[in-house]
A and B are shown apart, each in its own frame.
Chain A
Amino acid sequence: MVARQDALLAQMRRGTLQYCVLSLLADEERYGFDLVRGLSEMDGMVTSEGTIYPLLSRLRRDGLVESTWQESPSGPPRRYYRLTAAGRGALEGFRLEWRRFRDAVDHFVERKD
């Protein structure tokens, strides 16, 4: 039972993580390390930081984010990611669906009796 619950949480995290990444990029462009740190600050969101990079790579190839190289004040240049119009659209779509879903689940599991 506990194992199944862990698997479910991992699935939920996995499914929603990309929208958390898109949300973090909604207002500003960020480079990989900065983005990963932003995600890790929230407890329970990321278990292995390294897996964010394959995700970013896929989002880039799917056209939801784009990246540019920029000089860093210290060290080698950084790859900065930012949302594309398609990424913004995907994020908006998910926000609507997520609110509906969250409210529906809350309605049942948060019920006070």
Chain B
Amino acid sequence: MSDPTPIGKLKRSHLLHYIDASFSDNTAADWTPSWYLIGKDIEDMSVELNPDTSIKKNILDETVVEDNGYEPSVAADTYYANTGDSIYSRIKDIAMNRKTGDDCKTTVMEVVIDTVEGLTTGASSAWIEDCIVKPQSYGGAQGGVNIPYNINFDGNRKEGTVTFTNKVPTFVASS
């Protein structure tokens, strides 16, 4: 098999974020995620890595950097409530019933499509990780009910690949 063809400069739509709208346990043997694509009506969204480092100086006047890792999160600042969305009922439930803890826990999947083959039926690199979904507010201006939410990454990160069949992603973890 020939090597994948690099795509060159990536468009923003080549970096995709999904969350599992079933909010089910991704360690279960029968885990069948219902991936919901984040991004509709959002013009700008970034994963904030929030690196936690501290710089200290010892008695020898040497500078030491202590790297405490990352605390990544992403803010979906626009989500217009739509009963046709697979994520709608859970977002509504969390927001209106003030759910906390495991009720807010699901899986986030990040996909980077950086090969020409990945644009069609080929595999693209992907990662899944536990996450906590937290609506930040609800209401908004005239035109629709906006429920912006944050996704806080919660560990158990796994690397793998994703393929699309009829626009539905399927994740396979690397062995």
Chains A and B belong together in one complex: no
| Chain B contact residues, CB within 8 Å of chain A | none
